Structure 1
């Protein structure tokens, strides 16, 4: 999913030479990483070490210009099953801190058996150089998202100009890197990291877009994979370039928003936003209309939409976001403004720049604005509250200055290693149909499904049924028996919906404390959106 909320190390490098064999580049004289203590507090608390890996800017020129990939490692404390590379998704999500995150979230008996490897993909976070085009691009207030179908109103013209200018700035400020931030570049970097770690095979834990990295890496290097856990499946046959125009994802998010609006209506005594889904929707639309006419500080209609929409990624966000919206409905925008600052990172566009740099070049995106506009208006008929933030998020692809490549192939027939799929049946960011597509593609896989849950890519998040399946697989390779068809092999009952922890909404410090106290996996999701 695309909203305008921004996505989520010390060390030196000993130079070496990375060569390529025809059609299957490998590190023949692997770079080495000089590890030292991490400066980040969470990584330091996990006793992680950090460094940089040098890789070619252009993998077709392995002896040419180099860039640096930021890497962290939390070593196994028991008998190691080898390195486990981790990617949080995006594309554009920072994964450097995920070695510490998985160390915290996994059972100790599991984390003890792996060298947990976090890394920032090329162009992201602490990797060098890091992409940036217009740092304050998400700063508010911005024009309203929703255009008028019959003509190009002022807000639509403004967004066209903004997205064109953003694409132009990306070309101006990022040089040659912009042509080399494709998925294929990242999976080659992952294999160079494998070689630098001295491992014949890697384990891999991928969330969201990270599941596509796992699919493509295992297709390209089927003999270099040990175990893989993929959470929140990207459909390999509906990714890259324009794909289906975002239809499957946008409609799935609309379903989540409908469920959330029902949840709000059932708690009208707490929030006062309406006692039916229709009333909540009306309240929300009226708030957007008022903010279109008169923004409050940095909060305009698009900022309200962004904050509200982020809750569609994680049910645990429903309480603080709904409270912030309810306060704003009553005239107090202080909490909502703070929430946007936390979620939006409006002064840093690195995650957004990296998202576009990958998505816009992983496959051909239409260069006709009129075409994507027509498709979006058709889609808005079935997904009215989820179409336009997505539309404008990816609109720079229409004007993108870097040349598009081909979507990396996925061929599950090449892969014999068993690996585990984790999915929520009502995930909006990665719809359930994608999980079925992955299971069908990879006959060695098995799927555990959390039925009725909407939280995106949730694993080690408190559902014992799901977590026990993951733990058994990681400890000893045990997979659920694969059932006939492409559906779930294990179905788990969802965890309960969240409940308001602060009924009195004037207790904003308590609400903010709840919000800032999100578990790491949710903080990671909102910081790297699109999780």
Structure 2
């Protein structure tokens, strides 16, 4: 995702990429050409543009311009499969560039894989990335002295009255700041476009692309992960007659989103987060000190947890003494939360990052560039959490807030005090480790001043032209299994649920031949397995040296399926 690039307007398009969209007498066409090499370095991929209405209900408003990417089918082409990687705010162009073979493989190689940067994403689509501050210095000056820059300081289960009072004292300050940020965004260069961003627009844009590539009556095939599943849920219910082969993986519950404020319902997304952390420290204990630098000889998971908690407490104490410490306890929580997404990175996290954090917290080393670079990569992968450590010329993007908040329920007069009390309750009752993560995109939505010109709010149980596949890990840190179960239940006979017996965000976080074969069979011949099928993670995938997912699950209580 091009989160850290400056916003570039239409005039730059002629110089950034040679792809163009042209209008023929029979309607818009896409001219595929070489991609902008600063964004896409795989020369086998093609890029193009397509103009679409900014407002599908009012074409007089003007045009949007979508940046597209295509990986050609490796076998005999049967059409296109569209893909969105989530976020909101993750670049489809970047993801396809990095994961072309994965996507071609999942779809059986018989479709062109097509993605795009949705409105508000990247610097090639117009409207592009949303920026509300001129640079990072303006952002830090604006939020100076607030939890936006330090995170929330607390230890244990957030029961210390002093910590609770300190947080609640920030409520009027942060409410005023978030309301002012909303106004800054409205008056920024992006402001006039904010109401034209969002999921309904993304759905209609995808249908427009499909109409050009495959025809106005062709079934539309789609893979959506994370927030991309919300695009998928809206698509299949807005256009049930156009549903072809559709896979939703790492599922957002559209009914929850349509009825509840994200700032107040976030706790329901985190129900598995602490269990996944237990999986990490269990794997660390199983591999031992030779495979995990956080482990000592003979350590069990509780011993490793004690070290992590002690590290958080040390950072907490240092921050109380000096608010400008290089790493706060809030920073450590954000780092850990990002790690919950991708078990493939756990070994690197405990062997490379953890020792660096220990040294920095203990004052044995400065906050170094390697850690900051990695932190930036984590935020790229996990756009839900905010970015507090940046280079001087970087302006934090507000694309995620603009899209997610623009789609969410109308303002209900919720106060920041209510939001913060909900965070305290989440830390006490749902996830002790991650309940107090801050900043998180969702918490802005109760104060965001704009709503999209079109929002789909149900029903979510339309009869579909074809059955869809719903997939989830049994333990997902941000889109929990119950949400996937809810979507499958709403669609009844038109959806099949497949679970993966692993952890991480979306089933793509761990390899499973079982699930891959299900996806290929579905895309190539339409067959689906029995509902509620359970796939295992491949045994040869080691989370830590000598330790695979099954080993960790076998030593993790309470995960029987």
After superposition, what is the alpha-carbon deviation per residue over 1:448-494, rounded to whole angstroms, capped at 9, x for unaligned? 2111x111112395211111111111222111133xxxxx1344356
Give the match for residue 504 of structure 1: none
Structure 2 residue aligned with 1:360, among 395, 405, 409? Answer: 405
After superposition, what is the alpha-carbon deviation per residue over 1:119-141, rounded to whole angstroms, capped at 9, x for unaligned? 01111113122122235359999
Is 1:317 the counterpart of 2:345 in the alignment? yes
Quote the RMSD (CA, aligned, Å): 3.3
Aligned ranges 1:319-398 → 2 under 5 Å: 319-323=347-351, 324-330=353-359, 331-332=364-365, 333-334=367-368, 335-344=370-379, 346=390, 353-362=398-407, 363-367=409-413, 368-382=415-429, 383-389=431-437, 392-398=440-446
Give the match for residue 47 of structure 2: 50
In the superposition, relative to structure 1, how do residues 109 and 167 fare at CA in structure 2: closer, same or farther (>3 Å)?
Answer: closer
Q: Which moved more, 1:176-185 or 1:397-406?
A: 397-406
Indicate the SS of the match to 1:436.
helix
Give the match for residue 518 of structure 1: none
Give the match for residue 61 of structure 2: 64
CA distance in structure 1 between the partners assigned to 2:48 and 2:164 by the alignment = 51
Give the match for residue 550 of structure 2: none
CA distance in structure 2 between the partners assigned to 1:261 and 1:460 by the alignment = 18
Is 1:231 the counterpart of 2:238 in the alignment? no
Give the match for residue 232 of structure 2: 214
Q: Which moved more, 1:291-300 or 1:184-193?
A: 291-300
Provide the aligned length of Structure 1 versus Structure 2.
480
Indicate the SS of the match to 2:516.
helix
Give the match for residue 117 of structure 1: 114
CA distance in structure 2 between the partners assigned to 1:6 and 1:304 by the alignment = 22
After superposition, what is the alpha-carbon deviation per residue over 1:493-531, rounded to whole angstroms, capped at 9, x for unaligned? 565551159xxxxxxxxxxxxxxxxxxxxxxxxxxxxxx
CA contact (8 A) 1:366 1:398 kept: yes
CA distance in structure 1 between the partners assigned to 2:104 and 2:56 by the alignment = 38
Unaligned runs of 5+ in 1: 18-28, 483-487, 502-531
Give the match for residue 258 of structure 1: 278
In the superposition, relative to structure 1, how do residues 154 and 326 fare at CA in structure 2: closer, same or farther (>3 Å)?
Answer: farther
CA positional deviation for 1:288: 2.9
In the superposition, relative to structure 1, how do residues 118 and 40 fare at CA in structure 2: closer, same or farther (>3 Å)?
Answer: farther
CA distance in structure 1 between the partners assigned to 2:206 and 2:474 by the alignment = 30
Is 1:13 the counterpart of 2:13 in the alignment? no
CA contact (8 A) 1:87 1:210 kept: yes
Structure 2 residue aligned with 1:271, among 293, 299, 306? Answer: 293
CA contact (8 A) 1:227 1:474 kept: yes
CA positional deviation for 1:435: 1.3
Query: Normalised by the size of structure 2, how large is the TM-score?
Result: 0.76
Query: Normalised by the size of structure 1, how large is the TM-score?
Result: 0.80
CA distance in structure 1 between the partners assigned to 2:120 and 2:179 by the alignment = 21
Give the match for residue 510 of structure 1: none
CA distance in structure 1 between the partners assigned to 2:394 and 2:58 by the alignment = 29
Structure 1 residue aligned with 2:223, among 205, 222, 245? Answer: 205
Indicate the SS of the match to 1:246.
helix
Unaligned runs of 5+ in 2: 6-16, 155-162, 381-389, 547-561
